[in-house]
Amino acid sequence: MELKPYQQEVINDLSQFLESVQETKDTALAFHNFWSAHPKTPLMPFPGTAIEPYKNNVPRVPHICLKVPTAGGKTFIACNAIKTIFDAFNYDKPKAVVWLVPSITILEQTIKNLKDPSHPYRQKINSHFGNKVEVFDKSTLLQGSGFNATSVKEQLNIMVFSFDSLKAKNKEDRKVFQENGNLQSFESLLNKNEEITLGTVIKYLNPVVVVDESHNAESDLSVDMLKEINPCFILDLTATPRKNSNIISFIDALDLKKENMVKLPVIVYNHQDKTEVINSSLQLQRRLEKQALDEEKNGGKYIRPIVLFQAQPRNADDNTTFEKLKEKLIELKIPEEQIKIKTANLNELKNIDLMSRDCEVRFIITVNALKEGWDCPFAYILASLADKSSAVDVEQILGRVLRQPYVMKHKFPLLNVSYVLTASSRFLETLDNIVKGLNKAGFSDKDYKLADSTAVEPARPADPLQQLTLIPSLGVTQNQPESDEDITSDIDVSRILVSDDYPEVESVSEIENTAIEQNEAFEKAVTEMESSGIPVLPNEIQKLVKRYTIKEVFKDEVEKVNLPQFYLKVPSNDLFSSGLEELPLEKENLLEGFALSKADTNIAFDTITSELYKVDLDETKKEHTPTFVRLDGVVKESVMTYLLDPARKQSRIKNFTRRIMDLIGNMYPIADKEIEKYINRILEDFTDEQFSAFANNEYTYKDKIKQKITALSESYAEQKFKDFLDTDKVFIKSSYSLPKSISPGDTAKDITKSLYEKEGKMNGFEEQVINEIGNMSNIAFWSRNIDRKGFRINGFINHYPDFIIQTKSGKTVLLETKGDHLDAEQKIRLGAFWASKAGNNFRYFMVYERRTVDGAYKLEDFLKIIKDI
């Protein structure tokens, strides 16, 4: 299993943050610099900024958070993140991970999946750590089984605990901090007179800590517990970060919908009573299953849509509610084997594979699937059977119906969304709870749609018997007591018809029509997101950032501007379509066939001096300085011995290659195998002195090699781009419209004829140039094109010209300004390609102040030209 594009973005964010830490030697500054340059988030110092300053929760320990919605693959992201994090540390650091989870159920699932060599989680970790991986639960660690002073140095050790098991609340948990003879082998590693406990061993290992569902672990006690573990790095995973979280990556609903991870939007319909809820649920389930069968006949995969009936018991130990509801369904001639109860106290799903074709289950009666610890992508309909006078609380369960079966788009649109059916006279409160449920799953109020337009109208007066009744002895109001009444008694089975040939229920038709319409709207939004190439601001950030709209005077004129971009025809990956589809060209499209392993290895290592990376070590003693900051020239003797040991001479190249591979990290889409072969060739002719210099300056050497690989790949991509243009495999078409509003972060001073109320920040030369242009009589308007957020010329590199200028004659000019000390040959060539294909209404210019460069203009020459366009 490989990372989805948005998951790879999360890993890239993590890698970029770690690089920023290395550059600044200060976590708080690194966090600020990371967000200042991030394409998705305009962090800048104005009120309401989306990203707050770094919170130093555990001093000198980077503590960051990944916000990923339910069904976004948080655990798989974490499995990939482990290597990225350890690549930031010294070569010989023990590789230990403490993996914390919030509940026993999730603990069991996590241990099972991480231990299973056939599971994608374990396969990914094995591939990153050469199969030298061991996963431990608490009892195995306490027994010292496979866990000793030797094993911790030779393999990656993942220790999975529940949050509570490290808080020493009870006798069993306190064993972690009691002396343990099973761990005697660690005596040589610990300080003299230090008690040998599992706790002290973990503290010595200085582990990376992964906190799953971290919103459950933010109390003072939990923070103290994290400090006691002595972590070197803390990675939080959650759909709902707490206020003290340092978020470095946001994933939005559209990202998941684009990759077919979720069934969105959620279609909500409010009925008159529970009977109607059951009636609609049964009919909708049958309609969905019929579509699923039709899809399977046409080459699709097996799906058996499931209804979750959410039934509220009178008390925590009451199972009669569920049994009586099950009886009602059986009374409707639903086979008993199709109905199961799953609660904290009664589990009829035990040892049942809900995804199996042999499974009959279509209806599950539950309360809180999240706490009960189960999940199934076949769950499509959440039908709440709460009392009509209650606001339906779906907060804890809504996320269970969001996962998309098989992570693929289905031909029938009804199979691409999910459904919530309720019967509540307090529907506005129910909607609040639905939004809370979406928020808890990491989504927003944009991700549900009402199928019943009357549902939010003021409710009619309720039956007097259901009104609040004053009980004088208590002096408070409360609902009419339920006594031992059967709370399923108001379900009228005679009104429910489940025959296949019975006429459609009106509510089901409304639900289906809304589902089709809203699915199309979501699909359209995804398509627009893909075609624009512009990063979409996550929903949380959209609410906080300052946005600037187009000035009223330019609104009609700007609609005429439609900028061309390069496209590539590729085979469609839609199961139900054939032929080719047109997609925006990406650099990875141009690197197919790139044989890095055979490219030239001429790199000028002799220019490297250790002076480049010398740092005053006092700077690394600040409060925000993490313990893993790496410095060239500070190589542990043990590392040198290992790498240069004569006994290991035959494997020296392999050792150095592996080390540099770790430092370089992912260079997608270039395959790791190609990079490995290339580095191996570089090292083949190295002398002992060169290996020694390499070991002392490994980060500088790594930079040199990475720069060389980048240059080689860009040269290859440029030639491929030319070939594709010549053979019409790449073509240009109008696709980019200027956005109605922008969020640039820092803004520039006002200059005449700017398109937006405020434009993005500029340097002095840029301000000088655009001020001259804005005052020309032939200019209609101009805009500052925001790097990595605005229009890009997409080719063998992504080029974001500084300005988009519109003349009164209808010409669109792209302008890139460059300081005289900077080189920009690639951009000049790409801009020329773009202008030659874009048509007569488009121009591209590269402008220097005084420097003469082929294909570019000096400022005074350019100004003479543009005033006549």
Which CATH number is 132's domain given? 3.40.50
The answer to whether position 383 is within a domain reads yes
The answer to whether position 337 is within a domain reads yes
Contacts of 245 (CB under 8 A, 6+ apart): 55, 65, 67, 214, 218, 236, 238
Res 81 pLDDT > 60:
yes
Residue with tokens 């009402």: 450
The answer to whether position 439 is within a domain reads yes
Mean local confidence (pLDDT), 831-843:
96
Residues 685 and 746 in one domain: no
Instruction: Give kind and range of the element (H or E) at residue 164.
Output: none
Q: Are the CB atoms for 135 and 114 separated by under 8 Å?
A: yes
Q: Which range, 383-392, 609-618, 723-732, has the best average confidence (pLDDT)? A: 723-732
Q: Where are the beta strands (DSSP E) in 72-138?
A: 96-101, 133-136
Task: Extract the tokens encoding 21.
Answer: 């830490």
Contacts of 761 (CB under 8 A, 6+ apart): 744, 745, 746, 747, 748, 784
Concatenate the DSSP letters of all residues of 417-461 into one string. Answer: SEEEEE--S-HHHHHHHHHHHHHHTT--GGGEEES-TTTTSPPPP
pLDDT, greater one: 427 or 405? 405
Q: How far apart are CA 806 and CA 561, in angstroms?
A: 8
Instruction: With cut-offs at 50, 70 and 90, classify the pLDDT of residue 472.
Output: very low
Residues 14 and 111 in one domain: yes
Other Cβ atoms less than 10 A from the Cβ of 591: the count is 19
Residues 239 and 114 in one domain: yes
Task: Give the domain extent around 841.
Answer: 737-866
Contacts of 296 (CB under 8 A, 6+ apart): 302, 303
Q: Are the CB atoms for 125 and 110 separated by under 8 Å?
A: no
Contacts of 133 (CB under 8 A, 6+ apart): 122, 125, 126, 155, 156, 158
Mean local confidence (pLDDT), 848-859:
95
Which CATH number is 794's domain given? 3.40.1350
Q: Are the CB atoms for 447 and 266 separated by under 8 Å?
A: yes
Bridge partners of residue 238, in order along the sequence: 67
pLDDT (tens digit, 9 = 90+) per residue, 312-367? 766 555 667 788 889 889 988 899 999 999 887 788 888 899 999 999 999 999 87
Contacts of 708 (CB under 8 A, 6+ apart): 601, 603
Q: How far apart are CA 79 and CA 508, in angstroms?
A: 42
CA neighbor of 78 nearest in space, from 10, 170, 29: 10
Instruction: With cut-offs at 50, 70 and 90, classify the pLDDT of residue 498.
Output: low
Residues 392 and 501 in one domain: yes
The answer to whether position 584 is within a domain reads no
Last residue of a domain, one of 501, 525, 549: 525
Question: Is-cis flag, bond preceding 461, omega within 30?
Answer: no
Last residue of a domain, one of 231, 252, 273: 252
pLDDT score of 774: 96
Least confident of 448-452, 613-617, 642-646, 736-740: 613-617
Alpha helices (H) along 576-687: 637-644, 649-664, 672-683
pTM here?
Answer: 0.75
Secondary structure class of 732 (helix, strand, coil): strand
Residues 342 and 426 in one domain: yes
Residue with tokens 């030319």: 722
Mean local confidence (pLDDT), 262-276:
88
Mean local confidence (pLDDT), 814-842:
95
Domain count across the chain: 4
Res 820 pLDDT > 60:
yes
The mean pLDDT value of the chain amounts to: 83
Residues 262 and 385 in one domain: yes
Percentage above 70 pLDDT, the chain? 82
Angle between the N-to-C axes of helices 220-229 and 198-205, in degrees from 0 to 180, rounded to the nearest 10? 70
Whole-number Cα distances in Å, 88 to 1, 91, 645: 24, 9, 24
Backbone angles phi, psi at 528, to 5 degrees: -65, -40
Res 649 pLDDT > 80:
no
Q: Are the CB atoms for 440 and 542 separated by under 8 Å?
A: no
Calculated CA dihedral for residues 159, 160, 163, 166, nearest 10 degrees: -40
The answer to whether position 588 is within a domain reads no
Least confident of 405-419, 486-500, 513-527: 486-500
Instruction: With cut-offs at 50, 70 and 90, classify the pLDDT of residue 724.
Output: very high
Residues 334 and 224 in one domain: no
Q: Which range, 28-32, 150-154, 573-577, 802-806, has the best average confidence (pLDDT)? A: 802-806
Residues 617 and 629 in one domain: yes
Integer Rg of the chain from CA: 31
Bridge partners of residue 420, in order along the sequence: 268, 382
Residues 386 and 432 in one domain: yes
The answer to whether position 391 is within a domain reads yes
Residues 778 and 703 in one domain: no
The answer to whether position 228 is within a domain reads yes
Residue with tokens 């501007």: 561
pLDDT score of 172: 66
Bridge partners of residue 471, in order along the sequence: 476
Last residue of a domain, one of 232, 252, 272: 252
Residues 702 and 749 in one domain: no
Residues 185 and 274 in one domain: no
Mean local confidence (pLDDT), 574-592:
80
Other Cβ atoms less than 10 A from the Cβ of 220: the count is 7
Q: How far apart are CA 539 and CA 638, in angstroms?
A: 49
Bridge partners of residue 754, in order along the sequence: 782
Whole-number Cα distances in Å, 392 to 312, 317, 458, 635: 10, 21, 17, 61
Mean local confidence (pLDDT), 503-507:
69
Q: How far apart are CA 185 and CA 97, in angstroms?
A: 20
The answer to whether position 766 is within a domain reads yes
Other Cβ atoms less than 10 A from the Cβ of 463: the count is 10
Q: Name residue 170's amino acid.
A: N
